[in-house]
Amino acid sequence: MLKVSELRKEFANVVAVDGVSFEVQRGEVFGLLGPNGAGKTTTIRIVLNILQPDGGEITYDGARFSEAVRNIVGYLPEERGLYRKQKLFDTILYFAELRGMHLGTARGEASKWLERFDLLAYKSARVEELSKGNQQKVQFIISIIHDPALVILDEPFTGLDPVNQILLKDILLELRQRGKAIIFSTHQMDQAERLSDTLCLINKGRVVLGGAVRDVKKRYGKNSIHLEFSGDGSFMKDLPGVRRADVYRNSAELELSDHVRAQELLMQVTSKVELRKFELVEPSLQSIFIDVVGVPETRAHDAPLAVTKSGVAS
């Protein structure tokens, strides 16, 4: 569906995107991940032909960007781009017609999606009268109302409460089931882990990790345990043999040194907190993210990497 090859973009001597390559297939949720300022949004804007690259190539089913391609793409930007004084329903219809939809068809689809998102009561309200979460839902409707083949979502869960996050997640999985190619850009690793089939992690403008999520987790498999407990778990960070500890109020993920067995840690933990759960786990995407993004600065001078189904290839 979408192929990005050796993409490069420079702003005033700052290289924002440097040799980025990846592919997105139909029926796939592709996680474009990275910390703030990594180059994710710049990459998306180049893919959408909003920005012109300084180098590289982008093709859609083998063809370069054109007006026909524009109408098979749906885009939800990170920043809101709605006309605040315009009525909600009129806003949706306006963007639908820009994507080539017949007005009658657009009216039916708009009503269907407003009902799905529990927004029909706001049909005649001005955009500025809506909450931030409801404005986000309107932007999502605009991005998919024309039934695009490729859906690009930049931080789609921003402003949504937990109930609407679940609703949006269900809709994304429905779109994947219908064969849509979905690019899902975020720095929220928990959302990415639950939704993505394949991922590409960008840091400082370069691809540092990529491939199918299950394969990435296998490659980064470590001696890790997950605990749930009652009490103060802050001591876990200082236990002998604990390489890294992500400790929260009532849970923790501990990465152990290679020579340490999980059972050896059990007695030390149970002597200080009431343990409810103790299990060996594969590393979370969050812990992998921290490992990879925290690599030495010398990594930035390596050759550009390309994402393949099996991982990152030089």
Residue 263's DSSP bridge partners are none
pLDDT value of residue 31: 95
State residue 303's pLDDT score. 38
d(CA 146, CA 108): 11
Q: What is the pLDDT of residue 302?
A: 38
Quote helix, strand, coil % in the chain, to nearest 5. Answer: 35, 30, 35
Q: Which two tokens stand for residue 269?
A: 């933990």
Determine how many CB atoms are found less than 10 A away from the CB of residue 18: 21
The pLDDT of residue 222? 67
Q: Which of 31-40, 173-182, 288-297 has the lowest mean pLDDT?
A: 288-297
How far apart (Å, rounded) are the C-alpha atoms in residues 14 and 17? 9
- pLDDT band of residue 299 (cuts 50, 70, 90) is very low
Answer whether 0.85 is exceeded by the pTM: no
Pair 242, 282: CB distance under 8 Å: no
* Residue 113 buriedness (CB in 10 A; 0-12 / 13-18 / 19+): buried
CA 280 to chain CA centroid, nearest Å: 26
Cβ–Cβ < 8 Å for 16, 205: yes
User: How many angstroms separate the CA atoms of 4 and 213, rounded?
Assistant: 19
Cα 216 to Cα 311: distance, rounded to the nearest angstrom = 7
The CB-based long-range contact list for 297-303 (8 Å cut-off, 24+ gap) reads 299/208, 300/204, 300/206, 303/19
* Tens-digit pLDDT profile for residues 10-24: 998 899 999 999 999
The pLDDT of residue 224 is 83
Q: Please compute, for residue 84, the number of CA atoms within 13 A of its CA located in the half-sphere on the CB side.
A: 5
Q: Evaluate if residue 301 carries a pLDDT over 80.
A: no
Domains and CATH numbers, the chain: 2-217 (3.40.50.300), 222-281 (3.30.70.100)
- Token pair in block for residue 205: 């403008």
Instruction: Give the percent of the chain with pLDDT over 70.
Output: 93
Write out 134-195 in H/E/C secondary structure.
Answer: HHHHHHHHHHHCCCCCEEEEECCCCCCCHHHHHHHHHHHHHHHHCCCEEEEEECCHHHHHHH
